Structure 1
Amino acid sequence: MGGSTQQGSQGGGSKFADDTLRPVTIKQLVESDEPYPGAGLAVDGIPVTQVTLIGQVRSVKPQATNVTYQIDDGTGVIDVKKWVDAERADSGATAQFAPDTYVRVFGRLTQFSGKKHVGAHFIRTIEDFNEVNYHLLDATYVHLYLTKGAAGGGGGGGGGVGGDAAGDGMFVDGGNGAARQSAGGPARLKMCGRNAQSLFAYMQRMAAGDEGCNIHAISQGMGMSTRDVMAAADELLGHGMIYTTLDDETWAVLDY
């Protein structure tokens, strides 16, 4: 006890006090980075400690010391490692979750050899699918609070974040429709390169409906190489301006 008190007086206690549990999407975790060397991984510029996420098990890889689950929440995919407790192995505490099962994960984001994964403290099955929607709303609220400030606060500290601050950057295709409309597509389009802006304007003129436009038709119609079209489409996808439809080479414009 004496050693613990001394450690706390040297700053260990305050670091523990800053340990928080944050709801996140997998895309946020995959795109997290270090603000500066040694700072630890951060989401929205704020260091992440404990995180909780919800997703679907895609694969299970049992090993001697841990079980690795590949989890997909629709925004991205990440490995979740649950370490095996040898003393509790016979108690069912290390029971595995079957593929396609929806689970909630509580753990800590870790990076090893440049690859991020979540070290899980606890994993449980989702019994009510409404919890998936609740989690996404919760993650969106926290993201908005940290990037734009409290509701009614006049924009808070995140006024300069741009369209991504409206929650779009948390999802592959822009996520919440209301957030997309309030963020304003034209503002994000100005952040794109010249080819991406031309591609977006061309797809709007084509008005191909829900099926969208294929890369080869776009390349022929715009007189651009397929490589340039693909690069422009990736940029628009990253900003939540378009989404894939029939396959990875067919896109449609999001309706703002």
Structure 2
Amino acid sequence: MTIAQVFKATQAHTDAEWTLNGHEVGQVRVIGHVVNVSQQATNTVYLVDDGTGKVEARRWREQSSEEDVEKWGNIEVNQVISVTGNMKAFGNKKYVNATSVRLSEDPNETTFHMVEALTITLSIENGSPNGSPAAQKLSGAASAYTVQSSGGANNDMAEYEHLPVIQREIIKAILSQPEADEGGVDVGVISKSVQAVPGVNPNAISDALDALMDAGHIYSTSDDSHFQVSR
């Protein structure tokens, strides 16, 4: 990814996966110049600039200083580095929790990385040149699921009429998905389904999910970001 894409990625819920343009983001890799290095007791923070933006890459120390330098190298300002890790947020500030930091010694790597990020983005959004657009496949699949399951969801909503609108819509969203019976529905899918509710935002969704779990209407399944309706 470019750093600009890192900042465009969003979470539907504090425990949800990061998504970019509707697609789930796992590990990310960014390449850029180090413009600042901050040494702290338990971690080192690199401020990385790739021309599209600046982001902090944070790596945690788990070894002695000598072993740390041997594993990670002695990264300095003005060097170009490649950072691989997971996106995190503290408050409203995003950063990359680094699992790998290395020097980028080939000047062509930066250009290649930018082209690669562009290629991957266009392939995800439009499909490969020899294949059908991925976005159309996802859209078509979602439409088919909705048609197949919406009737059942509507018939099952009577017992939830007393709940606030956002809670009712969350339950409706879970019931309308085929994943509801196969390990639960991801919070990202739920978030997209309730976006039209007035006043909805990530905090409101989080609070509504907590309230539904406290009342016993839903429960988490495989992890804290997948939910199923209690029946």
List alignment gaps of at least 5 residues for structure 1: 1-23, 160-256
Residue aligning to 2:201: none
User: Match for 2:108 among 119, 130, 141?
Assistant: 130
Counting matched residue pairs gives 138
Q: Secondary structure at the match of 2:120?
A: helix
Tell me: higher relative CO, structure 1 or 2? Use CA pairs within 8 A at least 6 residues apart.
Answer: 2
Residue aligning to 2:18: 41
User: Match for 1:73 among 50, 70, 78?
Assistant: 50
| 1:154 CA displacement | 5.2
Letter in 1 for 2:96: V
Letter in 1 for 2:2: T
Structure 1 length as normaliser, TM-score? 0.49
Work out the percentage of aligned pairs sharing the same amino acid.
29
Flag the 1:119–1:37 CA change in 2: closer, same or farther, 3 A: closer
Flag the 1:154–1:121 CA change in 2: closer, same or farther, 3 A: closer
Aligned counterparts, 1:230-249, within 5 A: none
Q: Secondary structure at the match of 1:131?
A: helix
Residue aligning to 1:157: 135
What is the rounded CA distance, in whole Å, between the counterparts of 1:27 and 1:74 in structure 2? Answer: 9
Q: Secondary structure at the match of 1:130?
A: helix
Flag the 1:155–1:60 CA change in 2: closer, same or farther, 3 A: same
Flag the 1:158–1:105 CA change in 2: closer, same or farther, 3 A: farther
Structure 2 length as normaliser, TM-score? 0.54
Find runs of 4+ consecutive structure 1 residues off by over 6 angstroms. none
What is the rounded CA distance, in whole Å, between the counterparts of 1:154 and 1:121 in structure 2? Answer: 34
What is the rounded CA distance, in whole Å, between the counterparts of 1:156 and 1:107 in structure 2? Answer: 25
Flag the 1:37–1:98 CA change in 2: closer, same or farther, 3 A: closer
Deviations 1:84-103 (Å, cap 9, x if unpaired)? 12246446224431111111
What is the rounded CA distance, in whole Å, between the counterparts of 2:66 and 2:25 in structure 1? Answer: 30
Residue aligning to 1:30: 7
Q: Secondary structure at the match of 1:152?
A: coil
Deviations 1:70-97 (Å, cap 9, x if unpaired)? 0000001100001112246446224431
| 1:106 CA displacement | 1.0
CA contact (8 A) 2:73 2:102 kept: no
| 1:118 CA displacement | 0.3
List alignment gaps of at least 5 residues for structure 2: 138-231
Alignment partner of 1:93 is 2:78: no
